[in-house]
Each structure stands twice: as C-alpha cells, then as structure tokens.
Amino acid sequence: MSVPVVVWLTVGLASTAVLSVVAVGLLRQVKRLFQSVSEFNDRVQPVLLEMQRDAERTRERAERLQAQEVPFQKRRRR
C-alpha cells in the first residue's frame, strides 16, 4: 500500500474511534437527562395536583359567593 492510503486509513480509523467515544458519551448524557426529567416529574406531580385541586375549590367558592351576592343598589339622594 502506498503512503497516502495508509495515512487516509489511519485518519479514518482515528476519526471513527473519536466519533464512537463522543456518541457513547452523548447517549449516557441523554440517559441521565431522561432520568432527571422522570425524577422531576415524580417530585412535581403531587404539588401540581394539589395546586389544581386548590384552584378548583377556589373557583367553586367564587361561583357560590357570586350566586349569593346581592345586586348593588344605588342610594337615593334626599
């Protein structure tokens, strides 16, 4: 084999090795990201559900108060 062919094969194999290492590192980071998102959802879900329940109770209370409200009457001037 000629020298340029050996050089190109060496560069190609080295590039393939480097890209393989980068791809493995990227896959590990993606796996960590999904684990973090899952953990975040597990921690936030109960708080979110509580906030939704509170908002629903507040809405229902506001509707009840609005239904009980007496219309405003103008005062008569003397």
Q: How far is CA 36 from the centre of its chain?
A: 10
pLDDT tens sequence across 60-69: 999 888 888 7
Q: Which tokens in the block code for residue 22?
A: 């980068």
pLDDT of residue 16: 98
Quote the pTM value: 0.57
- Return the DSSP state at 68: H
Instruction: Return d(Cα 7, Cα 78) in angstroms, integer.
Output: 107
Dihedral sign computed on CA atoms, order 46, 50, 53, 59: negative
pLDDT tens sequence across 19-74: 999 999 999 999 999 999 999 999 999 999 999 999 999 999 998 888 887 666 66
